[in-house]
Amino acid sequence: MKIHKDDLRNTNDAYVIPLGRDGQLHPDSLKKHIDTYTLNFKQWHINVLAPLCTVGKRAEYYNTYGTLTYILGIEVSSNQLYVTCSCKRRVEKLCHHTYAALKSLLITGGTDYFLKLSKILQNTQCTTSNT
């Protein structure tokens, strides 16, 4: 099945990933959320994945590899993740930056990472000072 490029999602628009029972998400299940084409990009190795700020109920992270940095946005609502990336690639599902970042968060934070994040987001405000 071929999809016209214009029909693809801009990574700035949120991609929705349903969480499993009890808000769990397994790193392996992320593979369902990437395009076959995106699978070719294996060279995104995160060296910085730093929480940047929470704006309302949205968490943002610097997603950095070498000299490239994109902003990863995550919202958790109704047991679903809403994920954005500032790379503005046109993809059917997740871009490889987001895929690598989510995988890394789940591996380091545990499969209930996003459940924990949703609880944090309910209680925090953006505290970074803009310089």
Binding site for Zn ion (CB under 5 A): 11, 85, 87, 95, 97
Type of residue numbered 80: Q
Least CB distance to Zn ion at residue 70 (A):
5
User: Would you say 68 or 120 has its CB closer to Zn ion?
Assistant: 68
Structural tokens at position 63: 């997603």
Least CB distance to Zn ion at residue 13 (A):
12
- The string of DSSP letters for 26-57 reads -GGGGGGGB-TTGGG------SEEEEEEEETT
User: Would you say 19 or 83 has its CB closer to Zn ion?
Assistant: 83
Least CB distance to Zn ion at residue 114 (A):
18
Type of residue numbered 82: Y
